[in-house]
Structure 1
Amino acid sequence: MGQTPQELEPQGSAAQEVAGLFSFLSEQASMITSKHERMKA
């Protein structure tokens, strides 16, 4: 039981990293798509 928090902590931090990376990638993707839309127009 005492090991559970130690095991969950790395997973939580990893999930935060993945969430941050995902949001960053989505921002980059939206920027790229907006640039393409401008080029089309």
Structure 2
Amino acid sequence: MCFCQIKQEWHYTEKIVMQNIAGFIGKRNELITMASYYTGYD
């Protein structure tokens, strides 16, 4: 297995991880927005 192949696979994995993190942050922001929306009407 050459170094280029390892590098490519790492890049691919990194992309998936980044997408997962972005999705998680998006969901979190959604929840925070919803929470502030509901608490704002108290």
Normalised by the length of structure 1, the TM-score is 0.84
The answer for unaligned runs of 5 or more in structure 1 is: none
Which of 7, 12, 17 aligns to 2:10? It is 7
The answer for unaligned runs of 5 or more in structure 2 is: none
Consecutive aligned runs of 4 or more in structure 1 exceeding 6 Å deviation:
none
Kindly report the root-mean-square deviation, in angstroms, between the aligned alpha carbons of the 2 structures. Answer: 0.8
How many pairs does the alignment contain? 39
Q: Does 1:29 align with 2:35?
A: no
Normalised by the length of structure 2, the TM-score is 0.83
Give per-residue Cα distances to partners, 1:1-41, cap 9 Å, x unaligned: 232111111111000000000000000000000101011xx
